[in-house]
Amino acid sequence: MMMSVDSSVDRRDESQSTGNGNGNGVVTATNRTTYLSQRLRLNRNEAHQPENYDDLELEFNPALYGKMEQYLPPNLLTATRFHKLEYMKVVLDRYLTDHDRVRIQKHKEYRQYIISSYQPLHKEIYVMHPATFFVPSFIKAITENTEESLRSIISEPSPGVYTFEMLQPHFCELLLSEVESFEKWVQEAKFKIMRPNTMNKYGAVLDDFGLETMLDNLMNDFIRPISRVFFPEVGGTSLDSHHGFVVEYGKDRDYELGFHVDDSEVTLNVCLGKQFSGGELFFRGVRCDKHVNTDTQAEEVFDYSHVPGNGVLHRGRHRHGARPTTSGHRTNLLLWCRSSIFRESRKYQKDFPSWCGECLLEKKERQRQFVEATKKELLKREGEAMA
Ligand SMILES: [Zn+2]
């Protein structure tokens, strides 16, 4: 199973998670040079009380700046809110090229057009309403928000793959019907829509037709509390942006999905229905960029059969794919959750990632060789002493 990193990482338009850098506060060339020489700290300064940025019109969610503040270089912690913000903007701005900027602007216009023309069918799903969206056990566990309460509703059938009952059947129906209605509008308006990612030819981006705020609530209030417990080492605690979409399989839709990794830290995958056979998710171990093409170890092989309404949560770097949906139609809701702080801090980390199966294997091999060499050396010395 060979695949290149570029083609196997499922990427997409970054427009919702990155901005155009022209927000409040002008960053001058001199500032930029000074700022760029200082790096974010690797570890959060938990004692630092961040500012509130809610009143500002910013590129990203204001909460992100508050969180990012705890990672600022120590000398900046006492700077004014304006200066801290300038620094953080420069850090975030480093992600963007001119090409990105143009693409982001175009995508903004694309979304504005859809939202001004498409009339939602079920307005009630555009605003988060836990009691009608989720099954009671899910709400209860999240409300209690302890590791114990979460473990009581979540199974881990294979290391790093978590499954749980999540959505009410009625909500699944409403969402499916809304997606159908949106696609009908797309056809009638002869509108050229952007598909969710580079690998699916069908499906739709939910964030593009008005569901962004609801899905942001889903990530912040429901998925982050779970990720905080199960995926802290890949930014599960600091998830701050998402890409939400549906994929469709079956006749006249996608047939299967090749082996890949997601452009996310944590992925939520929930089957919405309806009737289908096949379409199992297959997992093949978690890998870092360097090791994405390496072999699978026997204990990493795991197949999962979708159950409508049930959620699957896994690391974005957990290699996976979808087997052919052999009959009927299957639609799944996908929420790729990302952490900008995790992505930024990865750039400075020299040590191997503890979550990569191959890195762990390499580490074990180095330890084995070391023990072997030490043993030999001891035996040799013993032999010399005996002589
Ligand atoms: Zn690795």
**CATH number of the domain to which 184 belongs:** 2.60.120.620
Tell me what the mean pLDDT of segment 118-128 comes to: 96
Question: Cα separation of 171 and 167, whole Å?
Answer: 7
Domain count for the chain, please give it.
3
Residue 203 is part of which domain span? 121-346
Q: How many whole angstroms from 356 Cα to the centroid of ligand 1?
A: 5
Last residue of one domain, picked from the residues 75, 93, 111: 93
Q: How many whole angstroms from 300 Cα to the centroid of ligand 1?
A: 15
- How would you label 312-328 residue by residue, b for 16+ Cβ within 10 Å and e otherwise? bbbbbbbbbbbbebeee
Tell me what the mean pLDDT of segment 183-190 comes to: 92
Q: How many whole angstroms from 318 Cα to the centroid of ligand 1?
A: 12
Helices (H), the chain: 5-8, 29-36, 62-69, 81-93, 98-117, 130-133, 136-144, 147-153, 169-188, 212-218, 224-230, 340-346, 357-386
pLDDT value of residue 36: 59
Inside any domain, residue 246: yes
Tell me what the mean pLDDT of segment 80-104 comes to: 84
Tell me what the mean pLDDT of segment 86-109 comes to: 83
Split at pLDDT 50, 70, 90, the class of 282 is very high
- Give the pLDDT confidence of 265-281 residue by residue, as tens digits: 999 999 999 899 999 99
Tell me what the mean pLDDT of segment 349-368 comes to: 89
Split at pLDDT 50, 70, 90, the class of 1 is very low
| Residue 246 scores a pLDDT above 80 | yes
Split at pLDDT 50, 70, 90, the class of 104 is confident
Are 161 and 230 within one domain?
yes
Are 150 and 295 within one domain?
yes
| Residue 363 scores a pLDDT above 80 | yes
| Residue 22 scores a pLDDT above 50 | no
pLDDT value of residue 197: 84
Instruction: Give whole-number Cα distances, 62 to 14, 69, 92, 220, 338, in Å.
Output: 18, 11, 13, 13, 15
Q: How many whole angstroms from 297 Cα to the centroid of ligand 1?
A: 14
Q: How many whole angstroms from 158 Cα to the centroid of ligand 1?
A: 19
| Residue 20 scores a pLDDT above 70 | no
Inside any domain, residue 109: no
Q: How many whole angstroms from 82 Cα to the centroid of ligand 1?
A: 39
pLDDT value of residue 8: 45
Are 31 and 179 within one domain?
no
pLDDT value of residue 33: 57
Are 364 and 339 within one domain?
no
Q: How many whole angstroms from 288 Cα to the centroid of ligand 1?
A: 4
Tell me what the mean pLDDT of segment 153-177 comes to: 97
Q: How many whole angstroms from 49 Cα to the centroid of ligand 1?
A: 35
Inside any domain, residue 6: no
Q: How many whole angstroms from 234 Cα to the centroid of ligand 1?
A: 13
Inside any domain, residue 106: no
Q: How many whole angstroms from 344 Cα to the centroid of ligand 1?
A: 18
Are 192 and 161 within one domain?
yes
Inside any domain, residue 369: yes
Inside any domain, residue 99: no
Tell me which of 331 and 384 has the higher pLDDT: 331
Mean pLDDT of the chain: 87
- Give the pLDDT confidence of 36-52 residue by residue, as tens digits: 567 888 888 889 999 99
Per DSSP, the residues of 99-155 read HHHHHHHHHHHHHHHHHHH---S-GGGSS--HHHHB-HHHHHHHHHTSHHHHHHH-E
Range with the largest mean pLDDT of 7-11, 65-69, 268-272, 286-290: 268-272
Are 60 and 161 within one domain?
no
Q: How many whole angstroms from 168 Cα to the centroid of ligand 1?
A: 38
Q: How many whole angstroms from 42 Cα to the centroid of ligand 1?
A: 20
Give phi and psi for 234, each to the nearest 5.
-115, 30
Q: How many whole angstroms from 316 Cα to the centroid of ligand 1?
A: 14
Tell me which of 44 and 284 has the higher pLDDT: 284
| Residue 30 scores a pLDDT above 60 | no
Q: How many whole angstroms from 365 Cα to the centroid of ligand 1?
A: 13
Split at pLDDT 50, 70, 90, the class of 32 is low
pLDDT value of residue 35: 61
- Give the pLDDT confidence of 129-145 residue by residue, as tens digits: 999 999 999 999 999 99
Split at pLDDT 50, 70, 90, the class of 146 is very high
| Residue 309 scores a pLDDT above 80 | yes
pLDDT value of residue 81: 93
| Residue 12 scores a pLDDT above 60 | no
Tell me the whole-structure pTM to 2 decimals: 0.77
Are 205 and 314 within one domain?
yes
Are 279 and 159 within one domain?
yes
